[in-house]
Amino acid sequence: MKKAKIVATLGPSSSDKIEDMIKTGVDVFRLNFSHANHKTHKESIKKIREIAKKLNSKTAILQDISGPKIRIGEIDGVLELKRGDKIRLVKKNPKSKYDLTLSYPEIIEQVKEGEYVFFADGSIRTKVIEKHPDYLVLEVKNDGILSSRKGVNFPHSNLKISAITQKDKKDLVFGAKNGVDIVAISFVNNKDDILLAKKILKENNANPWVIAKIETKKAVDNLDEILEVSDGVMVARGDLGIEVGIEKVPVIQKKIIRRANKLKKPVITATQMLLSMVNSPFPTRAEVSDVANAVMDGSDAVMLSDETTVGKYPLKAVETLKKVIIETQSIYPYYKKYEIDDSDAIAASVADLCKGIEPKAIVSFTSSGTTVRSIAKYRPKPPIIAVTHDRLTSRKLKLVWGVEEIIELPKIKNPEKLIEKFKEIAKKEKLLNEGDKVIVTMGSIIGEEGTTNMIRIVEI
């Protein structure tokens, strides 16, 4: 079994392949709210839930909200640009094909002369050479072609723009009402962006994990405060590379993963993992190495985007990702060491016990999933089996490294009866065999969050 998880983005190429994708190895489906409408996403949620139930899978759904992605307006055809050309960013009333409007025109006031502006994922780079109240004059620094609605990045500008737009607020309410398990917040700058998202979700009686996408320079600078309030992070390498420079991304990726691991926060590594498989049934050697390195760094999950939304080989991409993860596990640095605090004493002890008695599995009875995340933090080699009474918790745990099986049981107050019920299901579903030894963690108060205080060695 693979220990790192697979997140796959649903799109035109994969919407009719959900069952096969789950069977192939997808743990979490990502719904990209930068595309499609609520009706389409609602249909996708319904389809995923129905198929997961049929397969007895706890497959999770991740809602990725758009955030304030800044884009240019409409262009008539394409705009061919040459080095040295002059273009303008205007608040309104474009007068020529070289005048470009913005989805957030108010930011023109916040950009300074001498700063750089990048278009179309950084493929066209310009410099602000004049600033006026209602427009900016930019000098083009390289040849390129620009078309409608392409993204714009201001890597050196101190833009004051909320990560949660009015559209995002509506999308969060939609996600809350339709029971998504995980929400990813785009273009996070600080902890306030995460707290606002959580407030909206709580007001709508929802409690998904909230994942901060790290894709701005501000997010990198404020990583510690963001990690403090978020339930996990995504290394969103696309916009991050434009914001900080692509040469810095590998080092930043490792730093983010290391900090998230230490705080037992799930971390997803994303963007261009197997990009060549959009059009080819085979990845490049560099892409395979990239995936393996992301796994070795400590990623809880790796994510596919274009590969499964518009790619020709979505199933092949998932299969390839799974093979790379499993092969990488053969040299994975298990049993990580950290300073132990009170909240992690049980998990650290479990990891140490595993090295001595080599159990067939670690069985963690959990209400919220916190104990499971604590155990996963130490990266023990035996598979983790999570046992919970909570449906939302079981799906959230599909994102956590090392959780190979998830069992849902009704609340049983008697610990002995609870363990016996687990044994019965484990044997019936052939998760474990007669005589197998497992390490069990549980609380003296069954079914209550934050009460795990016991470790037991149990024979099946």
Given the residues 271, 308, 320, 371, select the one marked as catalytic.
271
Dist. CA 174–CA 257, nearest whole Å: 30
Closest to 91 measured CA to CA, from 77, 102, 80, 75: 102
Strands (DSSP E) found in 399-436: 403-408
In the beta sheet, which residues pair with residue 137? 88, 130
Instruction: Specify the pTM.
Output: 0.94
Catalytic residue (choose from 213, 218, 373, 396): 213
Residue 213 among the catalytic residues: yes
Q: How far is CA 332 from CA 38, 113, 179, 225, 381, in A?
A: 41, 49, 35, 29, 9
Residue 71 is a catalytic residue: yes
Active site residue 285: no
Query: One of 69, 71, 150, 191 is an active-site residue; which one?
Result: 71
Establish whether 262 is a catalytic residue. Answer: no
Q: Could you tell me the domains of the chain?
A: 5-67+163-327 (3.20.20.60), 78-153 (2.40.33.10), 342-459 (3.40.1380.20)
Q: What angle do CA 5, 9, 15 make, to 5 degrees?
A: 120
Q: Which residue in 30, 88, 264, 360 is the catalytic one?
A: 30
- Integer Rg of the chain from CA: 24
**pLDDT in tens for each of the 460 residues of the chain?**
999 999 999 999 999 999 999 999 999 999 999 999 999 999 999 999 999 999 999 999 999 999 999 999 999 999 999 999 999 999 999 999 999 999 999 999 999 999 999 999 899 999 999 999 999 999 999 999 999 999 999 998 999 889 999 999 999 999 999 999 999 999 999 999 999 999 999 999 999 999 999 999 999 999 999 999 999 999 999 999 999 999 999 999 999 999 999 999 999 999 999 999 999 999 999 999 999 999 999 999 999 999 999 999 999 999 999 999 999 999 999 999 999 888 899 999 999 999 999 999 999 999 999 999 999 999 999 999 999 999 999 999 999 999 999 999 988 888 899 999 999 999 999 999 999 999 999 987 777 777 788 999 999 9
Q: Phi and psi (nearest 5°) for 9?
A: -80, 130
The answer to whether residues 124 and 118 touch, using CB atoms and an 8 Å cutoff, is: yes
DSSP letters for 77-144? SEEEE-TT-EEEEESS---STTEE-BSSGGGGGG--TT-EEEETTTTEEEEEEEE-SSEEEEEE-S-E
